[in-house]
Amino acid sequence: MTEIEKLRDRTYRHQVATACRAIAASGYGDVTMGHVSIFDRDRGLMYIKRKGLGLDEIEWTDVLVHPIEDDDALHTTPMMHFEASMHTEVYKARDDVNSVIHSHPPYAIAMGATEASLQMVNHDAVMFAEHGVPAIDDHDLITTSEQGARVAKALGPARALLLRGHGVLIAGEDVRWSVRAAVCLERAIKVQMYASMLGPLRPIPADVAKDFFKRKYTAKKFLTIADEDKSSDGTSLDEFWDYWERSTRRNDTVVPRQV
């Protein structure tokens, strides 16, 4: 591995750890379950949280590296999450996706247990204005490549998918997008739930929501510290990512582990 490759490898590991802790702080923690991955498309390698630890505990050394075309290794690699095939199959199906999140956030699970669908209730919801949030009726654990492929098909071009009775899958252009979408989804559903208790919903009109999304977010490649061009794309996503990095460092404590 060249020095640049080492630097890139370390950066992805740190980004996975930051993402895990960021979503843990936003309602995605479920004991040791839930996972975040980043896809290094140039090398065909997936960086993914290992099992056995909670999202809020992950450090850069807790990240596994897996070639996404090697389906068999998903079931033989020690400490690989059972449901990692969701990640690999989405990366195979979507060349615009380079970060995937799966976990079991309670508000999204509550919505998936009903006939309700996400409404444009606030600025968080506009993250999903273009394609909405579809749902899949497979209530099982997603442990095989065939099941992972069905999840990827149900996701289609969307940013998020409800797995009914189970959890969510989030797909992002990069890890900033996947974390932001994860945070937005749970917040938007929470707001929608409370709003619907107060009275009939008055959502943001669809065309306004789509326009607002375009003005709020501009998708560009997330630069790693190994990239030559370190210029910011100037979106709020950079600012949010810096916040998540600061907040995870602020909460850092050293706790002895048994696993």
Single out the segment in contact with Zn ion by CB under 5 A; choices: 74-82, 160-168, 196-204, 222-230: 160-168
Of the candidates 239, 248, 226, 179, the residue with the CA atom closest to the CA atom of residue 18: 248
Residues 6 or more apart whose CB falls under 8 angstroms from that of 63 comprise 12, 13, 16, 17, 47, 48, 49, 50
Q: Shortest gap between Cβ of 178 and Zn ion (angstroms)?
A: 16
Q: What pairs with residue 63 in β-bridges?
A: 49
Q: Shortest gap between Cβ of 105 and Zn ion (angstroms)?
A: 11
Single out the segment in contact with Zn ion by CB under 5 A; choices: 106-114, 161-169, 171-179, 228-236: 161-169
Residues 167-206 close enough to bind Zn ion by CB under 5 A = 167
Considering beta carbons, is residue 14 or 35 the nearer one to Zn ion? 35
Q: Shortest gap between Cβ of 102 and Zn ion (angstroms)?
A: 6
**Residues 213-252: x/- map of binding to Zn ion (CB under 5 A)?**
----------------------------------------
Q: Which residue is nearest to Zn ion (CB)?
A: 167
Do the Cβ atoms of 12 and 18 come closer than 8 Å?
Answer: no
Dmax (CA) for the chain in angstroms is 60
Q: Shortest gap between Cβ of 82 and Zn ion (angstroms)?
A: 8
Residues 62-121 close enough to bind Zn ion by CB under 5 A = none
Considering beta carbons, is residue 148 or 167 the nearer one to Zn ion? 167
Considering beta carbons, is residue 148 or 172 the nearer one to Zn ion? 148
Residues 6 or more apart whose CB falls under 8 angstroms from that of 47 comprise 12, 13, 15, 16, 37, 38, 39, 40, 63, 64, 65
Cα 203 to Cα 116, 124, 129, 206, 207: the distances in Å are 14, 12, 11, 8, 11
Pairing mode, if any, of strands 45-49 and 167-172? unpaired
Q: Shortest gap between Cβ of 169 and Zn ion (angstroms)?
A: 9
Single out the segment in contact with Zn ion by CB under 5 A; choices: 84-92, 163-171, 219-227, 242-250: 163-171
Considering beta carbons, is residue 165 or 234 the nearer one to Zn ion? 165
Residue indicated by tokens 């949010």: 240
**Residues 114-153: x/- map of binding to Zn ion (CB under 5 A)?**
----------------------------------------
Size of the site for Zn ion (CB under 5 A): 1
Distance separating alpha carbons of residues 149 and 151, to the nearest angstrom: 5
**Virtual CA dihedral for 26, 28, 31, 35, nearest 10 degrees?**
-120
- Name the helix (H) or strand (E) containing 210: helix 206-216
Considering beta carbons, is residue 82 or 194 the nearer one to Zn ion? 82
Q: Shortest gap between Cβ of 146 and Zn ion (angstroms)?
A: 16
Q: Shortest gap between Cβ of 8 and Zn ion (angstroms)?
A: 29
Residues 6 or more apart whose CB falls under 8 angstroms from that of 140 comprise 147, 166
Please give the residue ranges that form the binding site for Zn ion (CB under 5 A). Answer: 167
